[in-house]
Amino acid sequence: MKRAFSLIELAIVLLLIAILLVVGYRLSTSVLRQSNLTSELVALKGAIQQARGNAIANSVPVRVSFVNDTILAEADFDRDGSFGDRIEELVVGEDVGVGVVFNYRGVNHTTVASGDVGAISHWSGHADDIDDFPNGTFIVSPTGLIRSAAGNPIQGAYYLITDDQFAGALYVSTLGDVKMGIKEATGVWEWTD
């Protein structure tokens, strides 16, 4: 005896398939944005490490600047106190005075002051309430140490946020160590390296 599915059974199966599709779509977009966030953090980390390596290799200071969604690193090869006044002094950027734009879809620069993200509260006990770099700028000394424009030791972070509230932080210590952290908006920072 053959038995067919009832209309109610078919409707339930279609409803379950629709629910699975919606959940799958939301998860996939969330994973994609988190992946974009990680990719941008890795690119920024590489740019900072490139600037630090350049400073040490050439025994010159290098100024690293974060402005909105761009990063720029310029050296002072001629030691005249002016960064990036010659094309040869460009370390990371599109042109002298023009930073590299990081524009992964759905990932934006943010600050602790904006209230979008909380400051880094820990990193193996070495970092507490790490704020943004003043004016988004720090200088890598010829020995690889991180300094403020005034020459004082400084540490700070560069913060990113996705449209669905994943936050990323790139922490730079006074010794030049660079660490990446990711968290959900209401979660705690998890260090990825």
In angstroms, the CA 72 to CA 189 distance is 26
Question: What do you get for the CA distance between the two ends of the chain, in Å?
Answer: 63
Domain tally for the chain? 1
Determine the pLDDT at residue 66.
85
Which residues, including other chains, have CB under 8 Å from residue 19's CB and lie 6 or more apart? none
Task: Show the domain range for 168.
Answer: 9-191
Q: Determine how β-strand 156-162 pairs with β-strand 166-172.
A: antiparallel
Residue 127 counted as domain residue = yes
Global pTM reads 0.77
**For position 167, what pLDDT does the model report?**
82
Tell whether 43 is covered by a domain.
yes
pLDDT of residue 141: 92
- Looking at the domain assignment, is residue 2 inside a domain? no
pLDDT at 149: 86
Q: Could you tell me if residue 3 is inside a domain?
A: no
Instruction: From residue 53, give the alpha-carbon distance in Å to each of 57, 105, 118, 141, 177.
Output: 6, 29, 30, 11, 12
Say which CATH number the domain at 146 has: 3.55.40.10
Residue 187 lies in a domain: yes
Task: Report if residue 4 sits inside a domain.
Answer: no
Task: Tell me if 54 is assigned to some domain.
Answer: yes
Query: Around Cβ 192, how many Cβ atoms within 10 Å?
Result: 13
Q: Residue 25, Cβ neighbours under 10 Å: how many?
A: 10
135 within domain boundaries: yes
pLDDT value for 1: 64
Tokens of 80: 């005249």
Mean pLDDT in order along the chain per 10 residues (193 residues): 79 89 73 74 87 90 86 86 82 80 74 76 63 86 90 87 81 87 74 69
- Token pair listed for 37: 């966030």
